[in-house]
Amino acid sequence: MKIKNQIFDVTIIGAGVTGCFIAKELSKYKLRVLVVEKEPTVAMGPTKGCSGIIHAFQLPFGSLKGKLCLEGNKLMDEEAKELGFRFKRVGLLLICKSFLSSLVARIVKPYFSRYLEVRYLGEEEIKELEPNVEAKGGLLFPSGGVVNPVEMTFKAKLFAELNGVEFRFESKVVGIDVIDVVDASDIGNIGDVSEVGEVGGVTDSTDAMDTTMGTVMDTTDTRDTADENPYFEVTLESEEGEEKIISRYVINCAGLYADEIAAMVGDKIKIIPGKGSHVVFEDKDFSYHLIAVLPLMPERKTKGGGSLVTIDGNLIWGPNLVDVENKEDRSVKKEEVDALIKKHSKPFKKLPEKAVSVYAGVRAIAGKDFIINSPIKNFINVAGIQSPGLTAAPAIARLVVRILKESLEKKGLRLEKKEEKSLKLISSREQNVEPICHCRNVSSDEICRIISDGAGTLDDVKHLTGATMECGRCLPAVLQIMEEKGLPLRKDTCKSFIAWRD
């Protein structure tokens, strides 16, 4: 077995939004970090199938979800500026259809005010903000926002890669073994971690997590392993065969498959897949906020969805929650679409007219809260990251860095910061070229730029630019550009669209 150049300080399994943001934060330190992903590109699992919503809050506020949601929401402006992804605070509007529900809204407002900004709006104020909505009153949470989740993840990956993180795609983890004894001449010391001293390089946001997270790790069950400071031998499977890498730490961000990864080190996590379907409308200016009706009537294990706007100005209704056995089941049935339209049409005077597509994502449900723990030394689970995982991703990343620092500090070691390289930020809409996708106003220059940034699949191009997402007439032109740029033309792995007919 070849060990040279296959030794890493930290290996992250999974390149969804959580894995990529952890990689982004770790890239700021003198560490050798590897991210492995079984799919051909980033964000191919729950990340791509989510609604793109930056949640204002998550109840209960005292849960790990609730704390990380608030912290992640506060960090989002900073992250968007650093990485260059589009982010807009459109606001969350919880509307009241009756006098009784408006009274309830007034009563609960002081409770919400303890944690975030919220305003009570009367009937006329809501009419000014949303002319198409009929309501007696409501609560406005200005911090609610929207992103393109694939763009957000892709930019985190670019930053991490620019700062030395290695990504290996189409590499599936098939085994993890704890190594008791490793040749010291091969391993050496972890990165440029220094000897005993204060934990250095802690950013202000990480310090803030110490106060907001409280004693999150008190419940961690860190079982003894055969070695006090174990290494892991991780077996990867790809088209080229099997290879093995050695890693001091392993971080499990495998999404729907986090239970299978945890089982490889003897830990038990139960991941239940929950499908959430959405309907996408082309009706621009139909509404301007994230809208849901009070009282919230959540379905089992979900908040119940709403009428949502996208970063591109489109309208989305959903998601719902459907139990599925297959973790890759992203089908959308007509009865699901009908139910979504019936549920989310209630607040509006008129209905949207231009349904252009439907899609579904599959949540990784592991109980009522996130699972962030260390079942054995040097192995960290980041599992069950369902909604509001997109919002919480920056805060989760900082929490994992804190856990890693605390682990090293116990060994008399500390992480050292390194000089960061910044992304060259270019607006995706700064163009004076005739578009090839007229539905989304996407030019050939923009597609070429995305490819030069590292987009390697049609799925990347679709979700990062919007090209081919609506009428599809630009698909031949997009494929031609990809071919000219030397990208292999493989089967589209999106699996998000179906024909929808009455």
Residue 197 pLDDT:
32
Q: How many domains does the chain have?
A: 3
First CA to last CA across the chain, in angstroms?
Answer: 58
Instruction: Tell me whether residue 181 is in a domain.
Output: yes
Question: Are 127 and 237 within one domain?
Answer: no
Closest CA to 367 of 216, 258, 250: 258
Question: Are 138 and 221 within one domain?
Answer: no
Instruction: Tell me whether residue 78 is in a domain.
Output: no
Q: Give the whole-angstrom CA distance, residue 340 versus residue 482.
A: 36
Residue 108 pLDDT:
96
Torsion of CA 91, 18, 457, 441, to 10 degrees: 10
Question: Are 200 and 310 within one domain?
Answer: no
For 115, the domain range is: 89-143+272-360
Question: Are 170 and 298 within one domain?
Answer: no
DSSP 216: G
* Residue numbers in the chain where pLDDT is lower than 70: 1-5, 181-228, 296-303, 425-433, 490-502
Q: Are 309 and 290 in contact (CB under 8 A)?
A: yes
- For 89-134, the pLDDT digits (tens) are 999 999 999 999 999 999 999 999 999 999 999 999 999 999 999 9
CA atoms within 13 A on the CB side of 78: 10
Find how far residue 25's CA is from the centre of its chain. Answer: 15
Q: Give the whole-angstrom CA distance, residue 105 versus residue 126.
A: 14
Residue 202 pLDDT:
31
DSSP H or E segment with residue 377: none
CATH of residue 93: 3.30.9.10
Question: Are 257 and 380 within one domain?
Answer: yes
CATH of residue 213: 3.50.50.60
Q: Give the whole-angstrom CA distance, residue 337 versus residue 268.
A: 35
Torsion of CA 214, 219, 224, 225, to 10 degrees: -80
Question: What one-character-per-residue DSSP string does 313-369 give?
Answer: S-EEEE---EE-SSTT-----HHHHHHHHHHHTTTBSS----EEEEEEEEEEE-SSS
Question: Are 382 and 260 within one domain?
Answer: yes
